[in-house]
Amino acid sequence: MSGFLHLSDFHLVEDETTSSRAFNAKYILENTVDKILGKKEDFGNLDGVIITGDISDDGSTASYSDAYDILKELHLPLLSIPGNHDLRQPMMGYFAKDIEIQSSGFFDWVYETSDTLIIGLDTLVEGKNYGILRSESLNLLFEKLKQPTEKNIILAIHHPPINTGIPFMDEIALKNANELSECLDAASQPVRILCGHVHGIYHGSLGIHSVVTAPSTCTRFSFNKRTDAPKGFKLSPTGFAYLDSSKDGFWTALTTVN
C-alpha cells in the first residue's frame, strides 16, 4: 500500500511580519510540519504529500518560496494543485518540481507509485473564488480513467464537488460537478476524491466515488447552515490528514493546536 499526507489551505502571504503570532500562516505551517516530523515514525511508509490548494493567500512569489522551504523538510514529493487564492505562474516556480505538468500553463498532472495513480486537476479561475474544471482537464481525467489499471486511483482538486451545508462556501464550490461526475463514469473502480477549500472535514460522494475535504492548517469555518451565518474564521481546530490508498485503506484527519 502507499501512504500519503493530505494538507490544504496554508494561506501564506508575502509579509508575515504584519500578522500576529496567533494568525501568522508561516509560523502555523512551520508548527504543523514540526508536528508531522515528530510523528513521522507513527505513519510508517510515506510516499508523498498531497496538497489541495491555497498554498498562498496573495499569490506572491515569497509565499511560495517560504512554503516550499518549510515543506521540503518533510523530504517527500510535494504533489500540489492550486486553489482560488493561488496564482499559477509563481506557484509553478516552486511546486512543479515533483510532478509532470500535462498541459502548458495549467496545473494538471499525473503521479504514480507502485500501487497508486494520483491525478491532480486545476480548478482555479483566477480572480474568482469558485472553481471550474476545463474541458482539457476533464479529457485528461477521462483518458486516464478509461485505461485498464490495477492501481488505486486518487483525484486531487481544490474545490469540492459536494455541498457542505455552509451557504457561503457552497456558493463558491466546483461549478461543473455534474461534468466531473459524468467523466468519472469511465472509471472501472471507485476513485477517492480529495479536496480542500472549505477549511473543514466533510464527506460525500459522486455516485460510487467518495469525496472528502481536508482541514486547513491555519483556520476553520464554523458549520452553520443559516443563510445569514457569519463568514469569519476561527483559529482552531485545524490540522491535516493521512491517507492509506489501498483498496481497504482509509483517510483520517489529525488535529493540531497552533
CATH number, domain containing residue 89: 3.60.21.10
Work out how many domains the chain is built from and give that number: 1
The identity of residue 124, as a single letter, is L
Q: Which domain holds residue 78?
A: 3-249
On whether residue 188 sits in a domain, the answer given is yes
The answer to whether 160 touches 195, Cβ cutoff 8 Å, is yes
For residue 53, give every residue at least 6 positions away whose Cβ sits within 8 Å of its Cβ, in sequence order, or none: 8, 9, 80, 81, 82, 83, 84, 85, 86, 123, 124, 158, 196, 197
- Asked whether residue 230 is assigned to any structural domain, the reply reads yes
Residue 258 lies in a domain: no
Would you mind telling me the total number of residues written for the chain in this entry? 258
Per-residue pLDDT of the chain (258 residues; tens, 9 = 90+): 899 999 999 999 998 765 544 579 999 999 999 999 999 999 999 999 999 999 999 999 999 999 999 999 999 999 999 999 999 999 999 999 999 898 778 999 999 999 999 999 999 999 999 999 999 999 999 999 999 999 999 999 999 999 999 999 999 999 999 999 999 999 999 999 999 999 999 999 999 999 999 999 999 888 888 888 777 777 778 999 999 999 999 999 998 866
Residue 254 domain-assigned (yes or no)? no
Distance CA 58, CA 175 (A): 23
CB atoms within 10 A of CB 31: 18
C-alpha cell at 72: 521540503
Gyration radius from the chain CA atoms? 17
Q: Are strands 3-7 and 238-244 parallel, antiparallel or unpaired?
A: antiparallel
What's the whole-model pTM score? 0.95
Note whether residue 255 is domain-resident. no
Residue 256 is assigned to a structural domain of this protein: no
Q: Which of 50, 30, 136 is nearest to 95 (CA)?
A: 50
DSSP state of 57: S
Q: Is residue 51 part of a domain?
A: yes
Question: 26 lies in a domain?
Answer: yes
